[in-house]
Amino acid sequence: MAKKIKARAKMKKGLIEVKYKVKHPMETGLRKAKDGNLVPEEYITNIKISKNGTPMINIDTNSTVSSDPYLYFRMKGAKGDVINLSWVSNTGEKNSADTKVK
């Protein structure tokens, strides 16, 4: 299953404004599927955001973060900087994406 990372990074009032929508089901392990069985836990445990390779933000997430996590941050920087987001899930799945600041 493709788990896309939707990103937008823009300069606004001298700061980079980053918005992320990470496609992920974020299953808590408490929800029941239609057949009555519990859906196994599957959630992102860690999200890292870096700018031009320098770590900026490190987020430990739990299964109670909403599905398709949405994140909003602001940071110092300039046009053309590359913002990278990478995540790891409890199942060991990983994904990352680079976004150029507009």
Partner 1 sequence: MNRRSVLKMLAGGAGLLSGLMPLTALANKLMGKRDPIDAIKAITGGSQSASDKLILKTPKLAENGAQVPITVDATALDGVKSISLVVHENPKPVALKINFDSSDVVTFASFRVKMGKPTKVTAIAQTASGFVTASGSTKVTKGGC
Contact residues: partner 1, CB under 8 A: 15, 26, 28, 30, 45-46, 51, 54-67, 69-77
What the block records as the tokens of 67 is 């599905």
**CB nearer to partner 1: pick between 5 and 75:** 75
φ, ψ for residue 88, nearest 5 deg: -130, 140
Q: Which of 40, 9, 22, 30 is nearest to 88 (CA)?
A: 22
d(CA 52, CA 87): 17
Can you read off the two tokens belonging to residue 36? 């009555």
Residue 4 C-beta: closest distance to partner 1, Å: 17
Shortest distance, CB of residue 79 to partner 1, whole angstroms?
A: 15
Least gap, CB of 102 to partner 1 (angstroms): 18
Distance in Å, CB of 36 to partner 1, minimum: 18
What is the sign of the dihedral through the CA atoms of 16, 102, 81 and 44?
A: positive
- Measured from the CB atom, is 45 or 86 closer to partner 1? 45
Q: Which is nearer to partner 1, 77 or 89 (CB)?
A: 77
